[in-house]
Amino acid sequence: MLSQTVRINQILVIDSGSIDGTLEYLRSIKEVKIINIDPAEFNHGDTRNLGWQHAREEYLFYTVQDARPVNEFLLEELLKGFTDDDVAGVCGQQVVPHELDKNPVEWFRPVSEPQNLRYQFNSPGEFDVLLPEQKKAVCSWDDVVALYKRSALQEIPFQRIVFGEDMLWAKEALTRGYAIGYRQGARVYHYHQESCDFTFKRSFTTMYFRYKHFGFVPAAPILTPRSRLSIIRNTFKSVGFNYTEIKKWHAYNVDLFHGYTKAYRLFMKSLGNGESILDEAHEKYCGKTHSLKN
């Protein structure tokens, strides 16, 4: 981050018990301030609130420990989204690099020029009448790569929640009359290798969150012979893989699809039996959301 074209005056690191040598390295960087928290107290909302509470600058960039900028223009590109005083924050895009240990089906392959979007509503009612898929789209905020005004975070702190604090922040900013921006040209590399069980839990909690807060119900997943062939073709397009690796990545992607399908079926079955059953299923498989408010 220190190689960005925009000068960074302060780096705040919220640490919940690192034991891999990270803290020792960070203490050698003069711009870094470490804020230690008890791992048992971690949640995505409160932890991120510690950032703006300890910051002294007006523009605050939020990311995670395993994301890295695609280039030195990341912050410069995000700052361009603050076109007027109404803009409370600007969000970028996370992508997967073309690296052999990353799932090639998820490799970033852009098909169009990056978009710059700005959303703002004159009243909460304008947001409320949007279709669920529109609400989900305008609130597809991502704290892996987002720049905020500190004053906006002071007025709209993150909610105490274990998932989706970024999307809820976007929703509240919009319903309070603020504008938010998306600049797809501001990118970070970020990737997680997943198991079938992890995909199941992540997918189920995402479906649950989007339904509870936006009324969004996902479409049924389909894995046809054609889509299986698409997975294989995408893998073959990847440079540097032999036949054994292609089989491995194909099996991996099919396994992830089964995890997603399991989540979808549980979500639809639970929702069909009532929201209280859906809540019980989510708590059973994913835990409590710990949300302070909707």
Q: Residue 119: helix, strand or coil by DSSP?
A: strand
Query: Considering the domain boundaries, does residue 4 fall inside one?
Result: no
Residues 166 and 101 in one domain: yes
Taking residue 41's Cβ as centre, other Cβ atoms within 10 Å add up to 9
Query: Considering the domain boundaries, does residue 44 fall inside one?
Result: no
Residues 212 and 131 in one domain: no
Query: Considering the domain boundaries, does residue 29 fall inside one?
Result: no
How do residues 161-184 score in pLDDT, each as one tens digit?
878 999 999 999 999 999 999 999
Residues 202 and 152 in one domain: no
Pairing assessment for the beta strands 59-62 and 87-95 based on DSSP bridges: unpaired
Query: Considering the domain boundaries, does residue 142 fall inside one?
Result: yes
How do residues 44-101 score in pLDDT, each as one tens digit?
888 899 999 999 899 999 999 899 999 999 999 999 999 999 999 999 999 999 998 9
Range of the domain at 170: 57-189
Residues 208 and 130 in one domain: no
How many domains, in total, are found in the chain? 2
How do residues 10-55 score in pLDDT, each as one tens digit?
999 998 877 777 888 888 888 889 998 888 778 888 889 999 999 9
Query: Considering the domain boundaries, does residue 47 fall inside one?
Result: no
Residues 173 and 237 in one domain: no
The predicted model scores a pTM of 0.90
Residues 128 and 217 in one domain: no
Q: What share of the chain is helix, strand, coil (3-state, %, to 5)?
A: 45, 15, 40
233-240 contacts: CB < 8 A, separation 24 or more?
Answer: 234/104, 234/105, 235/104, 235/105, 237/104, 238/98, 238/104, 238/107, 239/98, 240/100
User: Which pLDDT does position 235 carry in this prediction?
Assistant: 64
Query: Considering the domain boundaries, does residue 294 fall inside one?
Result: no
Backbone angles phi, psi at 127, to 5 degrees: -70, -40
d(C-alpha 244, C-alpha 233), whole Å:
15
Of all residues in the chain, the percent with pLDDT exceeding 90 is: 69
Query: Considering the domain boundaries, does residue 7 fall inside one?
Result: no
